[in-house]
Chain A
Amino acid sequence: MTTPIEQRVVHIISQLVPVKPEAIKPEHRLREDLGMDSVASMELLSMLAEELELDVGVEDVADVHTVGATIALARDFLAKKNVA
């Protein structure tokens, strides 16, 4: 069972690269496994921040290289937002 955040992340990825959502796994690396270039992987994080209205800085995404790490980042920032 996937969570709404996971679904959101997978949906955005499938908009950026021609991969079916059901084929995208948390362990996939954005560049090596999903074929994103450096700009596309940053655009993914940017779209995510925009859609979920998260206050994410470039320094926060420097080490995000996998689908799972992207989901974790979204969770962390949503939690911070809800606390605030």
Chain B
Amino acid sequence: MSALPPIVGDDVAGPLSAEVARFAARAIDARAIDQAHAIPKAVLSGLAELGLFGLTLPAEYGGAGCSMRTAAQVVAELARFDRSVAVTLGLHLGLGTRGLVKYGTASQHERYLPSLCTGERIAAFATTEPQAGSDLSALSTKAVETAGGALRVNGRKVYVTNGGLAGLYTLAVATPGLGGRERGQSLLLVERGDAGFSVEAEEHKLGLRGSSTTGLVLDDVTLPATRLLGEPGMAVPALAHILSWGRTLMSAGCVGTVRAALDKVQLQVATRRQFGKPLAALEVVREQVARFEARAFGMAALVDEVARAEGDVLLVRSLAAKVFASEGGWEVVDGAIQLHGGLGFIEDTGLALMLRDLRVTRIFEGANDVLLSHFGASELTKPLPRVALTTQVDAALAGVAAEADDLAKQVEATRQSLLSRFKVGIFRQPRWMHQLGAACTWREAVDSAVRLADTTRRPEDIARASVLAFDAKARVARLLNEPIPRDLLEVALRETLPLPEVRP
């Protein structure tokens, strides 16, 4: 099994990853987890014994106080063996506990963190509702202040990862009027066992079948005001931070899955013979594998940089990492199946499970299309700072750095042209925002890949960064083309999808 890209400058992540890999190789059977639709208790206990549930939680409460980067490495390692296990832990460390760690009060920390560190209590996070997904302003689960100052909560949440396992839930709910905010949303901590709170049955899913996914029902749940997490009415900025962790750890899982798929590809193309020679001797196959390796390298490089970022850069680049890793994961595993021929379609090979498990990564924690529009909008108002790579890297990387700089220049020229052509009206051009966001995603990945190659200086890494830049150039050129004219789209859709009336 080949290793994930090297971890530079982190004394903990490398040895811990090796320990996690040894445990996973011994204890995790992905096929059995998929078939049982559950993770064995022994696996969860094993994660707890390794201290992984407290990995990023504060040391004063029994956690290890490690960085997101270390957590990303651990999640990637687990995902090489099974994605359900990686998602269960990643959700606990990211969306599940990040809000509590950053915005919780001392008494909330004392009450919850010790049991969350040991894994005695697992964390979940819930925003999605039957009628509200990426649009938080549409939340209908409401917490209303009672005359006695408590909060009465009613509503329903759906597709809650870890829903059936968790003992603590962070919920985003509408809190009109709370904190003086007309349309505010707030975060609430809900415990399993709170009167009126119930967990629905497990969902039957395409993939991630070992990971628990349930709905939650809140029927006149009355909570003390001390269950508010952070400032009342201020869920939106808090969610941005929490989601940046969730998205980054989810992206790390994609890095691990892709590595596992490419290990299978390596074996397959070396041993499978067609037309009198191994697949690995065929140039078309070699090009595909090189592209996949380059994509995996770009994914790992971008995710590693984002896992080390902070503030606004973390918020924005985590969008790019999420989209690039989830789309890349899908493309690479699909390609891996193709290179396995009919064998790839058989569950025994393990790739079918990887593909099923990956599918939702393009949807959850922000559907990719929504995130691309947000990234595009963010670039139009406040572009990420960028320094030309040719001024930063070793001479051995001058060529690929120049390619990356050219790519960034193309994107910037289009951005400037959109601003001058549409002015503020660009925000009424959703397809342009989406396309610009997608182009910027490739720019970010190529930049990260070049910087990682500059750190390792391995010829294969430099070549992978170059292949990625080559691929990116063609894709970005396409993304920066004019979208299909609106009137043409409308005629094409006239009989099948006439434009619906939009009600305010």
Contact = CB atoms under 8 A, between A and B. Distances in A.
Interface of A: 14-19, 23-25, 28, 31-40, 42-43, 45-47, 49-50, 55-58, 60-62
Given A14-B504, A39-B433, A40-B137, A33 B424 contact: no
Contacts of A17: 137, 183
A36 B424 CA distance: 17
A79 to B, nearest CB: 17
A32 B233 contact: yes
Contacts of A16: 504
29 contacts: A15-B504, A16-B504, A17-B183, A18-B138, A18-B504, A24-B182, A32-B184, A33-B183, A33-B184, A34-B182, A34-B183, A35-B137, A35-B183, A35-B184, A37-B135, A37-B374, A40-B137, A42-B381, A43-B427, A46-B424, A46-B428, A50-B428, A56-B423, A58-B381, A58-B419, A58-B423, A58-B426, A60-B424, A62-B382
B342 interface: no
A47 B428 contact: yes
A23 B425 CA distance: 27
Contacts of A18: 137-138, 504
A61 B424 CA distance: 8
Contacts of B424: 42, 45-46, 49, 56-58, 60-61
Contacts of A47: 428
Interface in B168-206: 181-185
Contacts of B233: 32-33
Nearest to A38: B377
Nearest to B503: A15
B423 A35 contact: no
B377 A55 contact: no
A44 B426 CA distance: 12
B181 A37 contact: no
Given A14-B504, A19-B182, A37 B137 contact: yes
Contact of B428 (A19, A24, A43): A43
Contacts of A42: 377, 380-381, 424, 427
B172 to A, nearest CB: 11
Contacts of A36: 137
A46 B427 contact: yes
A40 B378 CA distance: 12
Given A18-B137, A37-B136, A57-B423, 15 more contacts: A17-B137, A28-B182, A32-B184, A32-B237, A33-B182, A33-B183, A36-B137, A37-B374, A38-B381, A39-B373, A39-B427, A42-B377, A49-B424, A57-B424, A60-B424
Nearest to B236: A31
A49 B381 contact: no
Contacts of B136: 35, 37
Nearest to A42: B427
B393 interface: no
A24 B502 CA distance: 21
Contact of A37 (B184, B236, B425, B504): B236
